[in-house]
Chain A
Amino acid sequence: MMRCDDISEVLGAWLDGQLRQSDAEEIRAHVAGCPSCGEERRQLEGLQKALRATFQSASTTIVFESFWRGVERRIHQKRSWYEDVRRWVRDFWAPPQMAWSVPIAIILLLLGMFTVESFLPGLRPRESRNNFAAVDSIDAFGRNVAVLREDESKTTVIWLYLNQEGEDESSGETSESGRSF
């Protein structure tokens, strides 16, 4: 059961025919039996009639022809390339288009992570690469062995000390192999 306060809130919508059939019927029955709501209805209807009359009389004095001509001119008007670019730039920075900045940012980030070298191997000069090798384990089976890391050329050298072909240094013979760096 609707109260007068509730009816008052939806009275305008009812008069405009915007309510559902069942609601409209309930309000109609209430307004017919309620003097205060009936009075409010009459006032609203009077106000609507007065407004309609005012708008109708004012509309006869407005010249719409120039307005429609303006609309037509703008429809057929050719925009300059400068205007197109300006519009594209403006639209690009508008929020919906800015959504594309997310994948673009991801692509740039990934490019940075992979580095140019990953995509184009050999692009960087050989000299600038860290060519050092790390020796994890080494076994010369009882022979002398040296590991040298030379900073200038970033070279790792493993030097096996053998006195002659196939023999180790314990044989006592000397050769160029027994050098020091």
Chain B
Amino acid sequence: MSPAAKRANRAVLFSGVVCLVAVLSWAAENVSQTVQINIGAILASNQNDSFDARLTHLEKQLKVLKYRSYRLLKEESQKVQRRGNATFEIPGGRSLVVTPQESGSRQLALKVHLQQGGKPLLDTTVRLNSGGNFILGGPPHEGGVLVISISATAQ
């Protein structure tokens, strides 16, 4: 076999290996098994004009709600397998159950169940980008309302 043919064969072999590695890594990335769920329970009220410094990353989103004061009550993070449940205790005797329905590298579907003392308050299924979040609010709490930021990241 001539050196040129050997070189061409090597290049073709290398191409094959590159493609194989790429396909495997793509598959591994898109069939993510674990999802990290982060929640932040925030008390929003009009009692004063304070803004909790720990909520700076959510400031733009919280401004939509038009309250004067925001205080972080609780922050929690849990890693959960696909179709597994992550249960968070929320101030006011409530609990939030988050179940990742499907997960890829880019988009996640979450089933969210909010309840108080065994009584269901809300059941919803939300699709969001990995690393993204949404706001769930409304339950009254300590003269204000409870606002929950829920974010999920595929891992």
Contacts and interface: CB of A to CB of B under 8 A. Distances in A.
A80 interface: no
Contact of A176 (B11, B127, B129, B144): B144
Contacts of A122: 131
A133 B105 contact: no
B123 A166 contact: no
B55 interface: no
B73 interface: no
Contact of A156 (B4, B109, B126, B141): B126
Contacts of B119: 166
B134 A133 contact: yes
Contacts of B121: 140-141, 143, 160, 162
Nearest to A94: B4
Interface in B38-97: 45-46, 57, 60-61, 63-67, 92-93
A17 to B, nearest CB: 29
B138 A129 contact: no
Interface string A150-171: 1011011111111111100000
Contacts of A162: 121, 138-140
Contacts, number: 158
Contact of A96 (B4, B120, B134): B4
Given A99-B7, A177-B145, A137 B19 contact: no
A121 interface: yes
A141 B118 CA distance: 13
Which of B18, B109, B114 is the most central at the interface, judged by chain A CB atoms within 10 Å of its CB?
A: B18
Contact of A159 (B93, B137, B144): B137
B136 interface: yes
B27 interface: no
Given A107-B18, A138-B122, A158 B63 contact: no
Contacts of B31: none
Interface string B1-18: 001110110011011001
Given A158-B136, A162-B139, A129 B129 contact: yes
Contact of A135 (B93, B125, B131, B132): B125
B140 A163 contact: yes
Given A103-B11, A153-B64, A158-B122, A133 B18 contact: no
A130 interface: yes
Interface in A41-97: 95-97
B58 to A, nearest CB: 9
Interface of A: 95-97, 99-100, 102-103, 106-107, 110, 114, 118, 121-122, 126-127, 129-141, 143, 145, 148, 150, 152-153, 155-166, 175-177, 179, 181
Interface of B: 3-5, 7-8, 11-12, 14-15, 18-19, 22, 26, 29, 45-46, 57, 60-61, 63-67, 92-93, 105, 109, 114, 116-117, 119-129, 131-141, 143-145
Given A103-B11, A156-B126, A177-B139, 6 more contacts: A97-B7, A102-B12, A133-B128, A133-B134, A166-B92, A176-B67
